[in-house]
Amino acid sequence: MHGTLNDQSLIYLQIAKMLEDDILRGVYREEEQVPSTNELARGYNINPATAAKGINLLVADGILYKKRGIGMFVSRGAGETVKQKRKAAFYDGYVKPLVKEGASLELTGEELLAMVERAIGEGEDQ
């Protein structure tokens, strides 16, 4: 397998995540066509069935839809859908690990919150 794929998580999930990231970044806009299963497979040297699984995941979430005989397209409002999806996973994926790590470093709740606020501040400055 090529390039940015790694063995840290299942390939089809990485494919799905990559497409989602691209949608958020505006690489694929609403109603635009995304690469086909075969193009993805060829590009990353993976089995087409794996690529298809990643795409189907996004179809099931309503982020992509299929135009018969043509290919896969980005749904209306896909960007919002992706954000909602990621917000739902944000707590388990980012917040809980943050708290767990803080606990193992014996940081108090106040110290953690202070750091979070500082980071928000720095982010706004940029």
Q: Can you give the binding site for another protein, defined by CB under 8 A?
A: 1, 5, 7-12, 38, 41-42, 44-50, 53, 100, 104
CB of 2 to another protein, least distance (A): 8
Q: How far apart are CA 75 and CA 81, in angstroms?
A: 9
Decide whether 46 or 63 has the Cβ nearer to another protein: 46
CB of 41 to another protein, least distance (A): 6
Q: How far apart are CA 108 and CA 41, in angstroms?
A: 47
CB of 118 to another protein, least distance (A): 26
Q: How far apart are CA 27 and CA 78, in angstroms?
A: 13
| Helix or strand run (H / E) with residue 72 | strand 71-74
Decide whether 99 or 114 has the Cβ nearer to another protein: 99
DSSP category for residue 8 = S
Decide whether 29 or 96 has the Cβ nearer to another protein: 96
